[in-house]
Amino acid sequence: MTTSRPARVFPVPPEPADVPAPLPEPDAADLRLETVLGALSDPLRLRVVRKLLLESEAFDHPCGWFGLDRPKSSLTHHFKALREAGVTRQRQYGLERRSQVRVADLEARFPGLLALVADWTPPSG
Amino acid sequence: MTTSRPARVFPVPPEPADVPAPLPEPDAADLRLETVLGALSDPLRLRVVRKLLLESEAFDHPCGWFGLDRPKSSLTHHFKALREAGVTRQRQYGLERRSQVRVADLEARFPGLLALVADWTPPSG
């Protein structure tokens, strides 16, 4: 039995010309639910993905854009974990890595998951 | 912008008379997405929840019903982790604990999440 539920659509900014190639990441067909859920089971990572979903102003964003008060090495680790799980795509622009959410791949494989992230509220305090 | 997506409905077996009280668990209002995703970011736990969603034959099920080839202490740990995250409810029947999925609570707080679990396929090999 099924009922109907609205599906959120997240706008994806257009890809500029000449963007660098993505850093290594799993193919869409190789995304694993347990791995994606593990990558999202952290408030900082949920905050990153939610901000990209709801507030993206460009095709992809460097870690400074997120305004996260954490050491650079910690942020590098979290952004890499999101990419290696297949949640985000990262590209290297000179010394800077920028991230975007793999909206189409995740919606195709795990429909509705990104809506849960978008609706997440950070823990209080 | 939204489109429409079918929502799965999972049948919940009726509650028998005189079931024991649930073991300690978070209230529905206190469920946290990051905690629930963490509890589900494990193939064994996904297997447990998926089997309960798709194959439940009774109101709740003891760990032997799942046919998992793991030491009892490991299973106890995993079932407790699911309960403490709010994914399952456990009740003590004499020496035995039985689990059920908190379908209504999870669907209300995180609509669509259980459908992803039901559609999950275990890793090959």
Chain A partners within 8 Å of B3 (Cβ): 6-7, 9
Kindly state the percentage of chain A with pLDDT values over 90.
Answer: 87
For the residues B40-53, what does the mean pLDDT come to?
Answer: 98
Q: Assign domain B28-119 to a CATH class.
A: mainly alpha
CB A7 within 8 A of CB B3: yes
Which stretches within chain A are classed as H helix?
Answer: 33-40, 43-55, 72-85, 103-109, 113-119
Chain A CB within 8 Å of residue B32 CB:
yes
Query: Is residue B123 predicted with pLDDT exceeding 90?
Result: no
Using CA atoms of B59, B62, B63, B67 in order, give the dihedral in degrees to the nearest 10: -80
pLDDT for position B7: 78
For the residues B56-67, what does the mean pLDDT come to?
Answer: 96
Q: In the structure, what pLDDT confidence band is assigned to residue A7 with cuts at 50, 70 and 90?
A: confident
pTM of the model: 0.94
pLDDT for position B21: 97
ipTM of predicted assembly, 2 dp: 0.93
Query: Is residue A4 predicted with pLDDT exceeding 90?
Result: no
| Residue A94, min C-alpha distance to chain B (Å) | 33
Q: Chain-wide mean pLDDT for chain B? A: 94
Q: How many Å apart are CA A83 and CA A6, to the nearest integer?
A: 28
Query: Is residue A1 predicted with pLDDT exceeding 70?
Result: no
Query: Is residue B2 predicted with pLDDT exceeding 70?
Result: no
Q: How many Å apart are CA A105 and CA A107, to the nearest integer?
A: 6
* Strands (E) located in chain B: 2-8, 61-62, 88-93, 96-101
Specify the long-range contacts of residues A14-21, CB closer than 8 Å, at least 24 apart: A14/A59, A15/A59, A16/A59, A19/A59, A19/A60, A19/A91, A20/A91, A20/A92, A20/A93, A21/A91
Chain B CB within 8 Å of residue A72 CB:
no
CB A7 within 8 A of CB A112: yes
Query: Is residue A3 predicted with pLDDT exceeding 70?
Result: no
Chain B partners within 8 Å of A85 (Cβ): none
The residue to which tokens 């959410």 are assigned: A101
How many other β-carbons are positioned within 10 Å of the β-carbon of residue B87? 28
Angle at which helices A33-40 and A72-85 pack, to 10 degrees? 160
Q: How do residues A10-64 score in pLDDT, each as one tens digit?
A: 988 999 999 999 999 999 999 999 999 999 999 999 999 999 999 999 999 999 9
| Residue B28, min C-alpha distance to chain A (Å) | 15
Q: How do residues B77-113 score in pLDDT, each as one tens digit?
A: 999 999 999 999 999 999 999 999 999 999 999 999 9
Sorted by where each begins, the domain ranges of chain B are: 28-119
Q: What's B22's DSSP letter?
A: B
Kindly state the percentage of chain B with pLDDT values over 90.
Answer: 87
